[in-house]
Structure 1
Amino acid sequence: MTEDPDYDAFDDPTRVACPANNCEHGDVRLSEYRGEDGESPVVLAGDCDSCGFSSVQCQECGDVTLFIDGDPRQCGGCDAVYQHELDRKGLSVSFRRVS
Structure 2
Amino acid sequence: MYFVYILECVDGTYYTGITNKLRNRIRRHQQGKGAKYTRGRLPVILRYIEICSGKSEALKREYQIKKMKRGEKEYLIKMFDKERMKNSVYPKEL
- TM-score normalised by the chain length of structure 1: 0.26
From the two aligned structures, give the one with the greater helix fraction.
Answer: 2
From the two aligned structures, give the one with the greater strand fraction.
Answer: 1
Q: Which has the higher contact order (CA 8 A, sep 6+)?
A: 2
Structure with larger Rg = 1
